[in-house]
Amino acid sequence: MAVSAASLVNFGTTGPAVGEFVYSIGPLTAPSYLPADSYVNRYLVSAYPALGNLIVPVITPVSYVATARTLAGSHRYYSVTYGNGLFVAISDGSSDAASSTDGITWTARTLPSTNVWFAISYGSGLFVAIGYASVGGPATTSYATSPDGITWTSRSFPSSNTWYGITYGNGRFIVVPQSSTVSLVSTDGITWTTGTLPAASVWVSVAYGNGVFVAIPYGAAAPAVSSDGITWTSGTLPSSSLWYSITYGNGTFVAVSSTTGTTAATSTNGYDWTARTLPSSAPWSGVAYGNNAFVAVGGTGAPSNSAATSPDGITWTARTLPLAQAWQSMTFGGGKFVVVATTATSVGATIDYAVNATSFVIPVIAPITGTTAYVKAS
């Protein structure tokens, strides 16, 4: 007997449909069932054609198209995210924000205070924006939340800091700071618990994947890894570079460096990293995953039109952005990548790019006590 999300399934009379997640008190075997307990194992779409279409989209290869866009207002936009069908961007040194359903047409919104809004994430039905008080990085307890990217509420963290990185994963938000060992954890974006990072580094970016949160340090070689955002341990990056952005996709973490050059790195577990080489020299500022591909952009601190794409984070192809700008942040949603730049002209861009999926991974499904989670594969 197994338990599905909707009902008990008795294998003697009825069975789950292909693509349905089930819970079993005993082992179920491949090829009919595949364990839903790890992103590490990859399966060929050709071996499970029906399941491949359900777990990840099998996308016909398309050309790389990058198009300049104009955001609302006249401020520098520092970070952008996607959630609930909406792109939301936040500004540097103002109360300006902007939202868009397609990344093309943007509407001006207003944050509850004037901050350097440095990072934004979406989860648990809520957008959460963080940052610091003003240019130069004065600490603050201030942050903001919104259920729709339109109406924002001012909030206060339990401690003051220069807040740099935020992500959402495994049912919780994680916030990391500049030059501190304090991390913040929340399941709802409102009530927070503190954790302890392994060092007082400049924790500039954080991502979730394969059951762990990984924060990267700006100018150090020891990333922080945690399963819960509270207790952290150190890993090892290939160099003490100016690591600036991290993302996760298809079983792999990818980090890029804002040191002008070709520096990148990949990891499957967040602890052990391998150096990779980007195809052109730039101060790489952002990396994101979507449509079965990684996309990296350059420009933080120095205008650049460099971009790069990769199906696996290892082999990269040189691309270009439509303008040489100080590109700062990138996200994926609604079938496209959206990039924003820290310029005074509200510059943004959309990138349409995808690769054909030859393999797929199965997401982690938390088991019911005493059972193991599987997906019906055939």
pLDDT band at 45 (very low <50, low <70, confident <90, very high): confident
The pLDDT of 367-374, averaged and rounded, is 80
Residues 36 and 70 in one domain: no
**In total, how many domains does the chain have?**
2
Residues 278 and 182 in one domain: yes
Residues 45 and 149 in one domain: no
| pLDDT over 50 at 361, yes or no | yes
| Sheet containing 284-290: order of strands | 284-290, 293-298, 304-310, 317-325
What is the per-residue pLDDT across 274-288, written as a single tens digit (0 to 9) for each? 999 999 999 999 999
Asked if the peptide bond before residue 311 counts as cis, ω within 30 degrees of 0, the response is: no
Tell me which residue has tokens 């207002």: 73
Residues 20 and 145 in one domain: no
- CATH number reported for the structural domain that contains residue 222 in this entry: 2.130.10.10
**Calpha distance 148→141 (Å, rounded):** 22
> So what's the pLDDT on residue 43?
76
Residues 174 and 35 in one domain: no
**Calpha distance 336→326 (Å, rounded):** 20
Q: How far is CA 253 from the centre of its chain?
A: 10
Least Cα distance to 245 among 275, 210, 203, 278 occurs for 203
DSSP helix/strand/coil, 112: strand
CA 223 to each of CA 71, 205, 261, 290: distance values in angstroms, whole numbers, following the listed order:
33, 10, 20, 23
Spatial contact of 339 and 286, defined as CB atoms under 8 Å apart = yes
Residues 215 and 288 in one domain: yes
What is the per-residue pLDDT across 92-147, written as a single tens digit (0 to 9) for each? 888 999 999 999 999 999 999 988 899 999 999 999 999 987 766 688 999 999 99
CA 81 to each of CA 105, 161, 200, 230: distance values in angstroms, whole numbers, following the listed order:
15, 22, 26, 24
Residues 128 and 202 in one domain: yes
Alpha helices for the chain (secondary structure H): 49-55
Residues 166 and 288 in one domain: yes
pLDDT band at 252 (very low <50, low <70, confident <90, very high): very high
pTM above 0.85, yes or no: no
Which amino acid appears at position 153 of this protein?
T
Residues 367 and 347 in one domain: no
Residues 30 and 102 in one domain: no
> So what's the pLDDT on residue 377?
86
Q: How far is CA 366 from the centre of its chain?
A: 20
**Calpha distance 166→206 (Å, rounded):** 6
Residues 27 and 151 in one domain: no
> b/e for 275-306, b at 16 or more Cβ within 10 A?
ebebbbebbbbbbbbbbbbbbbbbbbbebbbb
Q: How far is CA 375 from the centre of its chain?
A: 25
Residue range(s) defining the domain that contains residue 12: 2-56+361-376
pLDDT band at 150 (very low <50, low <70, confident <90, very high): very high
Could you tell me the two tokens for 296? 């990296």
Spatial contact of 17 and 339, defined as CB atoms under 8 Å apart = no
If one compares 18 and 59, the residue with the highest pLDDT of the two is 18
What is the per-residue pLDDT across 87-105, written as a single tens digit (0 to 9) for each? 999 998 889 999 999 999 9
If one compares 59 and 65, the residue with the highest pLDDT of the two is 65
Residues 332 and 266 in one domain: yes
